[in-house]
């Protein structure tokens, strides 16, 4: 509980939203006594008194029904976002997002632990979802629901440092001009960076309930936003307050527009920046081109001096989708080595003899773009023999079998296939160590025959997901 001297009552619609979620999880009628305890922290043994308290708190919310035996959710438990026509006639909805994340080590990758979302129309919460990510299975169902709630709304995000980028990576799409609540709170209260939503609520002297359930803690984000927003302040005023002295994007200099960036594919690939004289100044890659380019050219972004110089110098860009993330990485490395763009920093990877020996013979599996399911990379003695896309019915397995037989199990003498080309195995090893949750790598010769390797690949295709099986991975997996 956050203890304060002032009282800010919770909006009834948020209380009702909490009750809807609780009743949906309970999947059975719940008495007023128990429901009041769960959603209001009110303890009473009088059912009639608890019912009156809840009636007041819910303010006639049509999603909740009380009948003999207890409360239950009505048939419809959420209101869909408005149509485009109705949204255009009124002030856009806002969507509050609470993002929580953690790192296993100081320099480890930031991992999302909870995402909670509530959509508000006027003063009423019309839909909400989310919570601890570990409770959602499959996780893509939650992603789809959050994308639906974000559609056409203005996002207000409370996230730890790096959390917004992690959320956009998890959603596989950028947010449209998000309002960073931690930054607004820091500018207006002086609170230290890295604070939680509960810390900000305490700094604002709000009396709010801090719940163990992340889906209930979304109330903190809404309450803090309302307290930070000044009377008559527009959305543009709030964005300006957050932006401060950040570097603005010089759109008038570009041969592309924000609409061009929004039309970029949300898939892996490379991008190339050129200056006004047509010189290549930068080559980059991303697992999601749409999200990465939105990050480069976001108006409210804080940039390093190097990134600011690139954004100021670019005039046009080229986008080249790739079939997979590893393909984009290798293409980026090859273009940087071949063309030496002005603003790229050449990779210098310290060689590791033991790692190179372990990569003498390797088969890598990673997700592939539709209509393929997986892409298999076959590397032997520093040469990429082939990168074969695998279809859901096993298309590509015969091609892999021929390569396995001729190059791994019965190595032939003489020149290799024209497909073979040298690759930087150290670069691949580093990529594998950073993407243990997205790729599987093993030495095919650790199995006895080509048929056994193909059977293992078929196992991954049948599962439709990459988690290490019983084979021997080329790198330790966490």
Any alpha helices (H) in 123-257, and if so which ranges?
139-150, 163-171, 181-189, 197-203, 214-228, 235-243
Instruction: Give the range of the structural domain holding residue 287, as residue numbers without chain letter.
Output: 251-339
288/174 same-domain check: no
What does the angle CA 40 – CA 46 – CA 52 come to, to the nearest 5 degrees? 55
Residue 200: pLDDT band by 50, 70, 90 thresholds?
very high
Question: pLDDT (tens digit, 9 = 90+) per residue, 334-351?
Answer: 899 899 999 887 655 454
Final residue belonging to a domain, choices 243, 269, 284: 243
pLDDT (0 to 100) of residue 50: 86
Is residue 469 over pLDDT 60?
no
Residue 477: pLDDT over 50: no
Indicate if 268 and 359 belong to the same structural domain: no
Strand partners, 65: 72
* Residue 468 resides in a domain: no
3-state secondary structure string, 139-178?
A: HHHHHHHHHHHHCCCEEEEECCCCHHHHHHHHHCCCCCCC
pLDDT over 80 at 265, yes or no? yes
Helix (H, G, I), strand (E, B) or coil at 351: coil
Q: What is the pLDDT of residue 475?
A: 38
**pLDDT of the residue at 401:** 94
Which of 300, 180, 318, 187 lies closest to 247, judged by CA? 300
User: For residue 169, what are its two tokens?
Assistant: 């990576």
Residue 474 lies in a domain: no
Across the range 376-402, mean pLDDT stands at: 91
Question: Pairing mode, if any, of strands 280-286 and 383-390?
Answer: unpaired
In a domain, 13, yes or no: no
Q: Which residues, in sequence order, are bridge partners of residue 118?
A: 96, 128
Q: Considering only residues 53 and 60, tell me which one the structure prediction assigns the higher pLDDT.
A: 53
What is residue 259's predicted lDDT score, i.e. its pLDDT? 85
61 and 152 both lie in a single domain: no
Q: Is residue 411 in some structural domain?
A: yes
The domain boundary, picked from 339, 364, 388, lies at: 339
Checking 255-259 for CB contacts under 8 A at 24+ apart, the result is 255/315, 255/316, 256/316, 256/317, 258/297
Backbone angles phi and psi of 345, in degrees to 5: -95, 120
- Beta bridge mates, 111: 102
131 shares its domain with 205: yes
37 in Cβ contact with 30 (< 8 Å): no
Residues 6+ positions from 443 with CB-CB distance below 8 Å: 358, 361, 362, 363, 472, 474
Adjacency order of strands within the sheet including 361-367: 421-422, 383-390, 374-380, 361-367, 440-442
Closest CA to 29 of 65, 53, 55: 65
**Tokens 């080595």 map to which residue?**
337
Expressed in percent and rounded to 5, the helix, strand and coil fractions of the chain are 40, 20, 40
- Taking each helix axis from N to C end, the angle separating 325-339 and 425-434, rounded to the nearest 10 degrees, works out to 140
Are both 116 and 220 inside the same structural domain?
yes
**Mean pLDDT computed over every residue of the chain:** 81
Same domain, 89 and 194: yes
**Residue 413 pLDDT greater than 70, yes or no:** no
Q: What tokens were used for 267?
A: 């898939």
- Residue 165's pLDDT is what? 84
Residue 8 lies in a domain: no
Q: What is the CATH number of the domain that holds 309?
A: 3.40.1440.10
The better pLDDT of the pair 135, 1 is held by 135
Alpha-carbon distance of 362 to 471, in angstroms, equals 12
pLDDT band at 211 (very low <50, low <70, confident <90, very high): low
Distance CA 226, CA 42 (A): 25
User: Rounded to an integer, what distance in angstroms lies between the CA atom of residue 436 and that of residue 95?
Assistant: 33
In a domain, 43, yes or no: yes
Tokens of 38: 């769960």
pLDDT at site 117: 92
Does 49 share its domain with 97? no
Could you give the CA distance from residue 70 to residue 66 in angstroms, rounded to a whole number?
6
| Omega before residue 360 within 30° of 0, cis | no
- Strand bridging mode 179-180 / 154-158: parallel
- Give the mean model confidence (pLDDT) for residues 362-368: 90
Query: Considering the domain boundaries, does residue 317 fall inside one?
Result: yes
Both 176 and 316 in one domain: the answer is no
Residue 288 in contact with residue 313, Cβ under 8 Å? no
Same structural domain, 234 and 283: no
Both 284 and 229 in one domain: the answer is no
Q: 331 — alpha (psi -120 to 50), left (phi > 0) or beta?
A: alpha
* Per-residue pLDDT at 228 exceeds 90: yes
Among residues 379, 395, 353, which one has the least CA distance to residue 441?
379
Q: Which helix (H) or strand (E) holds 342?
A: none
In a domain, residue 235? The reply is: yes
Percentage of the chain beyond pLDDT 90 is 27
State mean pLDDT over 391-415.
84
The better pLDDT of the pair 132, 140 is held by 132
* pTM (two decimals): 0.56
Q: Check residue 319 and give its pLDDT.
A: 94
Evaluate whether 14 touches 222 at the Cβ level (below 8 Å).
yes
Neighbours of 462 (CB within 10 A): 10
Q: Any residues with CB less than 8 A from the CB of 85 and at least 6 apart, and which?
A: none
| 128 and 237 in a common domain | yes
Decide: 377 and 383 in contact? Cβ < 8 Å: no
Residue 203 sits in a domain whose CATH number is 3.30.420.10
- Single residue among 225, 243, 261 that ends a domain in this structure: 243
Q: Give the chain's domain count.
A: 4
Asked if residue 310 and residue 379 are part of one domain, the reply reads no
Q: Give the pLDDT confidence score for residue 2 in this predicted structure.
A: 35
Phi, psi angle pair for 318, to nearest 5°: -125, 140
Instruction: Tell me which residue has tokens 């061009």.
Output: 260
């Amino acid at each position: 509980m956050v203890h304060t001297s002032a009282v800010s009552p919770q909006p009834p619609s948020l209380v009702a939203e909490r009750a809807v979620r609780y009743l949906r999880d309970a999947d059975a009628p719940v008495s007023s006594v128990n429901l009041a305890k769960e959603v209001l922290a009110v303890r009473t043994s009088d059912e009639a008194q608890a019912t009156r308290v809840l009636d007041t708190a819910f303010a006639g919310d049509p999603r909740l029904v009380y009948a003999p035996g207890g409360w239950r959710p009505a048939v419809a438990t959420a209101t869909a976002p408005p149509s485009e026509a109705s949204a255009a006639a009124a002030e856009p909805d806002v969507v509050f997002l609470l993002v929580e994340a953690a790192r296993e080590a100081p320099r480890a990758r930031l991992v999302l632990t909870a995402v909670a979302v509530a959509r508000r129309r006027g003063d009423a919460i019309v839909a909400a979802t989310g919570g601890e990510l570990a409770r959602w299975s499959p996780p893509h169902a939650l992603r789809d629901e959050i994308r639906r709630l974000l559609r056409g709304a203005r996002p207000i995000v409370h996230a730890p440092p790096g959390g917004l980028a992690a959320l956009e990576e998890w959603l596989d799409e950028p947010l449209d001009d998000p309002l960073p609540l931690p930054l607004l709170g820091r500018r207006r209260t002086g609170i230290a960076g890295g604070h939680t939503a509960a810390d900000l609520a305490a700094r604002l002297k709000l009396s709010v309930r801090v719940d163990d359930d992340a889906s209930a803690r979304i109330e903190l984000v809404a309450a803090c936003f309302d307290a930070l927003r000044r009377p008559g302040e527009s959305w543009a005023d709030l964005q300006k307050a957050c932006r401060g002295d950040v570097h603005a994007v010089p759109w008038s200099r570009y041969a592309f527009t924000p609409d061009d960036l929004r039309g970029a594919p949300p898939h892996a690939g490379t991008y190339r920046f050129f200056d006004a004289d047509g010189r290549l100044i930068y080559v980059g890659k991303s697992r999601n081109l749409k999200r990465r380019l939105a990050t480069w050219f976001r108006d409210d972004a804080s940039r390093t001096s190097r990134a600011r110089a690139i954004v100021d110098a670019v005039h046009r860009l080229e986008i080249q989708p790739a079939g997979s993330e590893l393909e984009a990485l290798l293409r980026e490395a090859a273009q940087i080595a071949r063309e030496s763009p002005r603003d790229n920093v050449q990779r210098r990877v310290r060689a590791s003899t033991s790692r190179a020996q372990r990569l003498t013979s390797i088969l890598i599996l990673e997700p592939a773009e539709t209509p393929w399911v997986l892409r298999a990379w076959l590397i032997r003695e520093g040469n990429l023999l082939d990168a074969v896309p695998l279809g859901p019915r096993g298309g590509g397995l015969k091609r892999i079998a021929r390569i396995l037989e001729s190059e791994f199990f019965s190595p032939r003498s003489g020149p290799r296939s024209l497909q073979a080309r040298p690759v930087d195995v150290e670069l691949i090893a580093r990529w594998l160590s950073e993407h243990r949750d997205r790729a599987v790598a093993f030495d095919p010769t650790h199995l006895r025959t080509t048929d056994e390797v193909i059977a293992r690949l078929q196992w991954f295709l049948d599962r439709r997901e990459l988690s290490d099986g019983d084979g021997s991975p080329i790198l330790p997996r966490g």
